[in-house]
Amino acid sequence: MVACESYATLFASRTTVVVRHVRHGRGIHCDDMDRIIVLASVASVGVAASGVAQSPRAANPERPTVATHAYAVAPGCIEIEQGISARGASNLSQATSWDVNIKIGVAPHIQLGIFGPGYARTGAGHGIGDWGLALKLRTDLSDRVAVAVVPAVTAPTGKEQLGLGAGRALGQLPLVLSVNGPAGVHADVNAGPLGVGAGRPQWLTTASFGRPLGGPLGVTGELFRISAGAAGPRQAGLLGALTLTPVQWMVIDAGGTLGLGSGSPDVIFVGLTTNLGRL
């Protein structure tokens, strides 16, 4: 999960750095993007096939996509996600960040996340961003389909005047659908309000897909959109990334996001997810 202005951090700390420069071009009408994401969501359910049980020690990253998945870290286990990214609406030097997400398995269907930027830099300054908590509540509908709800809240720990935070506590309530399909294809669909507490909420719609390429390599792609609201402007993007799993408890990702529409930043990123096992 990565790089979609400050409120994507609530999804496993993609980023909290706010890019305020506006770029024109690459326009896609909002209604057209929503239709594309809905069609992709329907397709993801249509290709569902039987899932495969996963080892409690196997890393299961929520990054690098904006979407999260409907699975939880095994009870008593801890998994740490971290990533470095650079982004900008006019050039990639406008902002950088080191984002962290600590996931703790509380119960078979409950996960606690502690997330935020350990370091962020904008043109105005640098420091930590807004840190928060997320509680993932999930269940399986079948051996191939799972759903979750992920209420989350961030505290105003980042300096608003430096573009490192929202200046107030904000919440979100995304709904999550995950589907395991044939040939190792996996799909995650998220939708729900963001920026709750600032006035008119924003709305997230996203669909991501991934599959193995052979051996330890994998690929993932995503189309996402966040509507304009009191907490921030409209954002949209097309993400692509490669993943490498050298051992079952570690996943490395690298890729980028192409901003779609005015004000949506381009992003490049690299990340690491490590499952540390039981506490």
pLDDT in tens, the chain (279 residues): 444 433 344 443 343 344 333 333 444 455 555 555 554 444 444 444 334 457 899 999 999 999 999 999 999 999 999 999 999 988 999 999 999 999 999 999 999 999 999 999 999 999 999 999 999 999 999 999 999 999 999 999 999 999 999 999 999 999 999 999 998 999 999 999 999 999 999 999 999 999 999 999 999 999 999 999 999 999 999 999 999 999 999 999 999 999 998 889 999 999 999 999 998
**Count of alpha carbons within 13 angstroms of residue 13, beta-carbon side:** 31
Q: What is the pLDDT of residue 97?
A: 97
Residues 6+ apart with CB under 8 A from 224: 4, 37, 65, 66, 67, 204, 205, 206, 207, 208, 235, 236, 237, 239
User: How many residues in the chain?
Assistant: 279
Q: What is the distance between the alpha carbons of residues 109 and 34, in angstroms, rounded to a whole number?
A: 30
pLDDT number for residue 145: 98
What's the CA angle centered on 180, arms 12 and 62, to 5 degrees?
Answer: 10
| Domains assigned to the chain | 6-17+26-272 (2.40.160.40)
